[in-house]
Amino acid sequence: MKDRRVLRFYMTLLVVALLGVFLQSTFTDRQIAGPLTNSYLVNNALAALIFTLLFRWRQRHIEKLGFLFLAGTGLKFLTFFIVFYPVFRADGELTGEEFILFFVPYTLSTLVETVFLARILNRE
């Protein structure tokens, strides 16, 4: 991928993730290593994968991009229920802090992904 927009997306996603991990760790008194970092890694990896696929398909499948984006969002939630939910529910309940542990990285990565996709699609 030689497009600077793609590189800019990856760099923005990385910077937002690093700031998010630092701020969320500071405000919740959670260690950076562990579930917090795993949540950011999984959400950002999925956002990067979804963005890359949508960017590659933007001209051939323009009429399907909205559905593919929603499918990507569904994939992120499916990942939550397969990977994170069983760990969070191991003690019998899902606390607000555990939910925030997933939801903040999910929101940040989805926001960056949405902004960049909208900019790219509006210019083409």
Assigned token pair, 99:
């939910």
- The residue behind tokens 């001209």 is 59
What is d(CA 27, CA 22) in angstroms, rounded to the nearest whole number?
9
Assigned token pair, 20:
């998010």
- The residue behind tokens 């499918």 is 71
Which residues, in sequence order, are CB contacts of 121 under 8 Å at separation 6+? Answer: 58, 65
| pLDDT tens digits for range 78-100 | 988 898 888 877 887 777 888 88
What is d(CA 102, CA 42) in angstroms, rounded to the nearest whole number?
10
- The residue behind tokens 């903040």 is 104
| pLDDT tens digits for range 30-48 | 777 788 888 899 999 999 9
| pLDDT tens digits for range 104-118 | 999 999 999 999 988
Please give the model's pTM, rounded to 2 decimal places: 0.86
3-state secondary structure 48-77: HHHHHHHHHHCCCCHHHHHHHHHHHHHHHH
First and final C-alpha spacing in the chain: 17
